Amino acid sequence: MQNQISIRLISALTLLFCSCGGGELRSIPPKFSDNGKVIDSIKNAYSAEAVEFENWGVDDATDSTLTVCLINSKRLSAQDNDSSVQVFKALASVIRRSLTDNTRYKSYYIIFVKSTRQSGIEYRSHSDGMKVLVEDL
């Protein structure tokens, strides 16, 4: 009985410490030839709190996708499909041109993300997004 209580206490403390460690791990942003000025301008243009990147890490295959998340943007993409597609393609194109190695990714997934915190837990949902293939740019 004492062992079960100890195991449960250790498990609970481990989960608590892990959740206090800053949330989920984010991958390292790609290198930009303009030191991230394009990303800063996108962040400002879309009134986003942050721009985050998700990818597979340092040893990405050349056919990988770079995911770009605009967090809590106050301005979402266009309302109709045609305009929305053009917005996502334009964002992907600008990001691709600003990368130091723009041959590394074969597609770009642009996502508008709504992030909220309740009781210290972060909740995220995608409000809009599109995967853009390099050949469509």
Any domain includes 9: no
Residue 20 lies in a domain: no
pLDDT in tens, the chain (137 residues): 555 554 554 544 444 444 444 445 455 678 999 988 999 999 999 999 999 988 655 555 555 889 999 999 987 655 677 778 888 999 999 999 999 998 888 999 999 999 888 888 888 888 888 999 999 98
Structural domain span for residue 60: 26-136
The predicted pLDDT at position 134 comes to 93
- Answer whether residue 3 is part of any domain: no
Task: Round to whole Å and give the CA distance between 45 and 42.
Answer: 5
Residue 79 lies in a domain: yes
Determine which helix (DSSP H) or strand (DSSP E) holds 88, and give its type and residue range. Answer: helix 81-98
pLDDT of residue 22: 46
Domain count, the chain: 1
- Please indicate, yes or no, if residue 1 is contained in any of the structural domains: no
In a domain, 44, yes or no: yes
51, part of any domain:
yes
The model's pTM is 0.72
Residue 33 lies in a domain: yes
Buried b (16+ CB within 10 A) or exposed e, 77-88: beeeeeeeeebb
